[in-house]
């Protein structure tokens, strides 16, 4: 089928709760969590789809979806010409008064969208991963293979296999999935690289009729978790019609050797924090500055970031950091950090190895170290965050096992025990 005549529908699964990212998901859906200064996590999935030429995309939402729905409606508006759209679709309860039971059930309950659009192929992606990928190239491979289901995969060290869903390939047919292993303890390495395995990225392409048939059958099962990776993909593997697409062969324009096969699941505070650290080195592990494959997001009408001396003439110093529009740094020191829009960091303040969301206020002489500050957090003069883990816990802040302190939305951090 010619590229000009085939129809492709993009489905973004954005209904998860994101419990492991609490408190960042206390008041918002996981795909709406800010990332990298002024992006939202969902911007990476949608930018990849747009850059790949997909123009009909639905976003299936569920939990705490208000800010996510607002972001999509304000940023991802399409003209409507040539049937182009990105639209959020909340849980519709078309099959009874219940929430989505899983990602496969989300598609089952939204089949009216498929019936209306009548696509030849369906691209299904998650909404909470940071990566670049050309789905047009994956679609070409899917069509050429004759598979009904193709799973995107990234190479990972075999020592990390117990952290992923691992794709076991047939050495005689390395593009064919022989088995799908959930966090295996002792998997077999790849035929061309025994020290690596293929881990599922949570992105799939299906021939439409095959996917519709699969989710309808899955919906009738009482022993299913109704999950795309856990139930639908194994269904196609058992049929012998599941293929794998290795991200190694995905050539994204403008990518560098350093970030070419970057993919990170930011499902925990630690992985979310580490992904930000990947942005800020001189040669970033993930490069936000690839103009050939841009990551789109909302661009507010704000002035540039400003760096000034304080009243005593002390210079601002910013090292290996990202500072977003509208932010003012006055005689402060920022290092290895990402600062969101409209923030302020005042005289003598020290911010290191940290992430500050939009409208954060870090006052004179305050210290923020290895911390994440949600929107509208105020750190009062002389107060500290991330310096004393026990004090942070007593204040009610989340402190991870690796020592990352997370301060929730709208909190004012004082010098004493209590914050408000």
* CATH T-level topology, domain 306-413: UDP N-Acetylglucosamine Acyltransferase; domain 1 (2.160.10)
| 231 DSSP assignment | I
All structural domains of the chain with their residue ranges: 8-277, 306-413
Q: Mean pLDDT highest for which of 60-69, 179-188, 214-223, 328-337?
A: 328-337
CA distance 18 to 32: 10
Mean pLDDT of the chain: 91
Give the model's pLDDT for residue 2: 45
Give the model's pLDDT for residue 79: 60
In this predicted structure, the answer to whether residue 82 has a pLDDT above a threshold of 80 is no
Q: Is 52 annotated as a binding residue?
A: no
> Which carries the bigger pLDDT value, residue 129 or residue 163?
129
In this predicted structure, the answer to whether residue 417 has a pLDDT above a threshold of 80 is no
Percent of the chain with pLDDT over 90: 68
Domain 8-277, CATH homologous superfamily name and number: Spore Coat Polysaccharide Biosynthesis Protein SpsA; Chain A (3.90.550.10)
Q: Is 100 annotated as a binding residue?
A: yes
CA distance 345 to 238: 57
Q: What is the pLDDT of residues 110-122, one digit of tens each?
A: 999 999 999 999 9
Give the model's pLDDT for residue 259: 86
Q: Confirm if 308 and 324 have CB atoms less than 8 A apart.
A: no
| 83 DSSP assignment | G
Cβ within 8 Å of residue 193, ≥6 positions away: 155
In this predicted structure, the answer to whether residue 1 has a pLDDT above a threshold of 70 is no
Mean predicted confidence (pLDDT) in 95-107: 83
Q: What is the pLDDT of residues 153-184, one digit of tens each?
A: 999 999 988 888 899 988 888 788 998 888 88
Query: How many Cα atoms sit within 13 Å of 231 on the Cβ side?
Result: 21
Q: What is the pLDDT of residues 350-359, one digit of tens each?
A: 999 999 999 9
Q: Is 7 annotated as a binding residue?
A: no
Q: What is the pLDDT of residues 353-386, one digit of tens each?
A: 999 999 999 999 999 999 999 999 999 999 999 9
CA distance 286 to 276: 9
Give the model's pLDDT for residue 351: 98
In this predicted structure, the answer to whether residue 4 has a pLDDT above a threshold of 60 is no
Residue 144: C-alpha distances to residues 137, 147, 172, 178, 245 (Å): 11, 8, 18, 19, 12
Task: With CA atoms as reference, report the closest residue to 93 among 108, 72, 80, 103.
Answer: 108
Mean predicted confidence (pLDDT) in 307-314: 90
Q: Within a 10 A sphere around the Cβ of 336, how many other Cβ atoms?
A: 16
For residue 405, what are the β-bridge partners?
A: 371, 399
Mean predicted confidence (pLDDT) in 238-253: 94
Of 71-75, 199-203, 276-280, the range with the lowest mean pLDDT is: 71-75
CA distance 23 to 407: 8
């Amino acid at each position: 089928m010619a590229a000009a005549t085939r129809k492709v529908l993009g489905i973004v699964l954005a209904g998860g709760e994101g419990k492991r990212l609490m408190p960042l998901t206390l008041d918002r859906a996981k795909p709406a969590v800010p990332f990298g200064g002024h992006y939202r996590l969902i911007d990476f999935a949608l930018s990849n789809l747009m850059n790949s030429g997909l123009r009909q995309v639905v976003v299936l939402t569920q939990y705490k979806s208000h800010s996510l729905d607002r972001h999509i409606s304000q940023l991802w508006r399409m003209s409507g010409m040539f049937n182009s759209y990105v639209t959020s679709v909340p849980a519709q309860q078309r099959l009874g008064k219940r929430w989505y039971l899983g990602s496969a059930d989300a598609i089952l309950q939204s089949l009216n969208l498929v019936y209306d659009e009548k696509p030849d192929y369906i691209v299904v992606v998650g909404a909470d991963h940071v990566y670049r990928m050309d789905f047009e190239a994956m679609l070409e491979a899917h069509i050429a293979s004759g598979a009904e289901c193709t799973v995107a995969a990234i190479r990972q060290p075999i020592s990390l296999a117990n952290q992923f869903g691992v794709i076991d390939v047939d050495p005689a047919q390395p593009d064919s999935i022989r088995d799908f292993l959930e966090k295996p303890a002792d998997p077999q390495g790849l035929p061309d690289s025994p020290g690596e395995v293929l881990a599922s990225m949570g992105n799939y392409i299906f021939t439409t009729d095959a996917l519709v048939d699969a989710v309808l059958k899955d919906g009738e099962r009482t022993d299913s978790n109704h999950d795309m990776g856990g139930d639908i993909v194994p269904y196609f593997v058992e049929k012998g019609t599941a293929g794998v697409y290795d991200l190694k062969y995905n050539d994204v324009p403008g990518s560098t050797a350093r970030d070419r096969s970057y993919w990170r699941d930011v499902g925990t505070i630690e992985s979310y924090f580490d992904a930000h650290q990947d942005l800020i080195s001189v040669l970033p592990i993930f490069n936000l500055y690839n103009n050939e494959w841009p990551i789109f997001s909302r661009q507010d009408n704000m002035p540039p970031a400003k760096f000034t001396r304080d009243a005593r003439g002390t210079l601002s110093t910013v090292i290996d950091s990202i500072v977003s529009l509208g932010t003012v740094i006055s005689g402060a020191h920022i290092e290895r950090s990402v600062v969101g829009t409209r923030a302020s960091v005042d005289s003598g303040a020290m911010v290191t190895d940290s992430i500050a969301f939009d409208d954060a206020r870090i006052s004179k002489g305050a210290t923020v170290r290895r911390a994440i500050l949600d929107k509208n957090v105020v750190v009062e003069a002389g107060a500290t965050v991330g310096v004393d883990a026990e004090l942070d816990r007593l204040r009610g802040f989340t402190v991870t096992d690796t020592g990352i302190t997370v301060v929730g939305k709208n909190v004012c951090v004082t010098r004493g025990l209590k914050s408000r």
